């Protein structure tokens, strides 16, 4: 990488990750498919309108897949694609940094 | 980490990283201290007003240190603190993900 410019792929990656809530949404989906309200409950500070917007962006970017199950009532779930799941090492690195450098305790963190 | 909530440290980490430009600014400083205009040139899409705001936030969060050298003209440099430099594994994980999953080529990437 040249001294005076950033890698376009790095920039593009942070176009996605550098949006409020996106990292938290991806983290919330790492344990498997979830419904809209599951994610909404896991991230209380985020409005449903914002979550709907982020889901659309992440689906358009190929990071999540929206499954519609034709049941009654219809069931809709969101799942990480391979591209989305591939962000797990990023999320783990963020968690490790947070564990080391962020002050408030995480009462039930694994480590 | 419980199934239905996110770790507060993870959330706090993404409060920082999930802001537009922050990841790029930190990446730009990983090679050593830089002046305002160096970073401004490395991230052409970002306004100077935004960079000034991000520098203030990152300084307040303890991620960067602002050095003022009493020369003529005065020289001001920004440097990552230990806390800021500790984000290097995050940045590397983001780069790896970008290399694997983002389409446009990075002409001069190391790998």
The CATH number of the domain holding residue A30 is 1.10.10.10
Q: Is residue A73 part of a domain?
A: yes
DSSP letters for chain B: --TTS--HHHHHHHHHHTSTTHHHHHHHHTTS-EEHHHHHHHSTTS-HHHHHHHHHHHHHTTSEEEEEE--SS-EEEEEE-HHHHTTHHHHHHHHHHHHHH--S--TT---
Which of A3, A19, A100 is closest, CB to CB, to B18?
A19
Q: Is residue B19 part of a domain?
A: no
The answer as to whether B18 is a domain residue is no
Return the residue in B1, B4, B9, B42 with the most chain A beta carbons within 10 A, the one to mutate for interface testing. B9
Instruction: Please indicate if any CB of chain B lies within 8 Å of the CB of A35.
Output: no
pLDDT tens for A64-83 read 999 999 999 999 999 999 99
Structure tokens at A74: 């219809």
Q: Based on the structure, what is the number of domains in chain B? A: 1
Alpha-carbon gap: A56 to the closest alpha carbon of chain B (Å): 18
- The share of chain B scoring above pLDDT 70, in percent, equals 89
The ipTM (two decimal places) reads 0.88
Question: Is B105 at the interface with chain A, CB within 8 A?
Answer: yes
> Please, which residues have CB within 8 angstroms of residue B25's CB and are 6 or more apart in sequence?
B39, B43, B51, B54, B55, B58
Asked if B42 lies within 8 A of A87 by C-beta distance, the reply is no
Residue B94: C-alpha distances to residues A15, A98, B23 (Å) = 11, 16, 10
Residue range(s) defining the domain that contains residue A39: 23-98
Token readout for A84 is 């989305």
pLDDT at B3: 56
DSSP, res A34:
B
pLDDT digits (tens, 9 = 90+) for A39-60: 999 999 999 999 999 999 999 9
Question: Does pLDDT of B107 surpass 60?
Answer: no
A30 vs B: CB within 8 A:
no
Q: pLDDT tens digit string along B57-87?
A: 999 999 999 999 999 999 999 999 999 999 9
> pLDDT tens for residues B45-64?
999 999 999 999 999 999 99
Closest approach of chain B CAs to the CA of A47, in angstroms?
A: 16
Question: What is the share, in percent, of chain A residues with pLDDT greater than 70?
Answer: 89
Contact B79, B89 (CB under 8 A): no
The band of B4, judged by pLDDT with boundaries at 50, 70 and 90, is low
Decide if A66 is inside a domain: yes
The residues, ordered by sequence, that sit 6+ positions from A102 with a Cβ below 8 Å of its Cβ are B8, B9, B12, B13
Assess whether pLDDT exceeds 90 at residue A90.
yes
Determine, for residues B42 and A8 on separate chains, whether the beta-carbon distance falls below 8 Å. no
Nearest to A90 among B11, B41, B93 (CB): B93
Residue B80 located in a structural domain: yes
| pLDDT > 70? residue A3 | no
CA torsion sign for B83, B84, B85, B89 is: positive
State residue A111's pLDDT score. 43
User: Is residue B109, in this structure, part of any structural domain at all?
Assistant: no
B98 has pLDDT over 50: yes
Contact assessment for residue B68 and residue B80, using Cβ atoms and an 8 Å cutoff: no
pLDDT given for residue B104 in this prediction? 63
């Amino acid at each position: 990488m040249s001294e005076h410019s950033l890698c376009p792929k790095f920039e593009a990656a942070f176009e996605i990750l550098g949006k409020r809530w996106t990292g938290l949404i991806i983290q919330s989906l790492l344990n498997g498919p979830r419904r809209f309200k599951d994610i909404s409950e896991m991230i209380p500070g985020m409005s449903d309108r914002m979550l709907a917007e982020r889901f659309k962006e992440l689906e358009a970017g190929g990071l999540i897949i929206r499954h519609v199950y034709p049941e009654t009532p219809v069931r809709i779930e969101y799942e990480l694609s391979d591209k989305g799941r591939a962000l797990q090492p990023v999320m783990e690195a963020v968690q490790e940094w947070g564990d080391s450098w962020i002050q408030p305790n995480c009462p039930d963190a694994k480590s």
